[in-house]
Amino acid sequence: MITYRISASSETTGLLREIMRAIEAEESESAELTLVERGFPEPDDAFFLSFSASNLAPLIRFLNGLNPSRRGPQFLIGRKHETFEPLLLSDILFFRSAGNALFAHTERQAYEIKYKLFEMEKLIACQSFFRVNKSNIVNVLKIREIIPWFGGRILLRFAGSEERIEVSRNYVRDFKQFLNM
């Protein structure tokens, strides 16, 4: 089992703890690995990975590779018109259900995915995705802004996209807890 410690902001620390829990790593003060957000103290006595909080995707890809038995895919196959393309989960901003179809949205375009929303939710449960309403699952690592909204709801804006998604009241509490807000 991998042991780790974190030197980062409180928001980033909460997110990293969830990711490390998903790969079955254990937090420890005598850890063999330290995750250090740029601008925070680096340890003199341990191996460490330095990362930028504004671009966590490379760190997540690396950490996911540490646990070969982890559940969930690294990529999905998306369909655009009559062609198919492999999509890294780390490139997906969000999944949206529309009728009987599910679409994976990236910065470039939307791809149809063969799963139903509830199937996708189970498939990627151990990763950085969270269901925010009856139609959407978002990649929390791709959120650019979290905006308090009317009636206790939250509005999300994504890096590389003008798309906005509302976190419905039924999901707000769990979403805030997931992000340690």
Residue with tokens 């198919």: 84
Say if residue 70's pLDDT is above 70: no
pLDDT tens sequence across 129-152: 999 999 999 999 899 999 998 888
The predicted model scores a pTM of: 0.61
Question: What residue segments make up the domains of the chain, in order of their start?
Answer: 3-65, 75-178
pLDDT band, residue 21 (cuts 50/70/90): confident
Torsion of CA 146, 151, 152, 158, to 10 degrees: -20
How large is the average pLDDT for residues 164-171? 94
**pLDDT value at 25 more than 90:** no
Architecture of 75-178 per CATH? Beta Barrel (2.40)
Rounded average pLDDT over 82-94: 90
Residue scoring higher pLDDT (41 or 72):
41
pLDDT for the residue numbered 32: 81
pLDDT band, very low/low/confident/very high, at 103 (cuts 50, 70, 90): very high
Contact criterion met (CB below 8 Å) for 134 and 168: yes
Angle, helices 57-65 vs 10-22, to 10°: value is: 30
Residue 89 and residue 76: Cα distance in Å, rounded? Answer: 7
Query: What pLDDT is stored for residue 104 in this prediction?
Result: 96
Average pLDDT value over all residues in the chain:
87
Instruction: State the Cα–Cα distance between residues 177 and 78, nearest whole angstrom.
Output: 31
Find the mean pLDDT for residues 43-54.
85
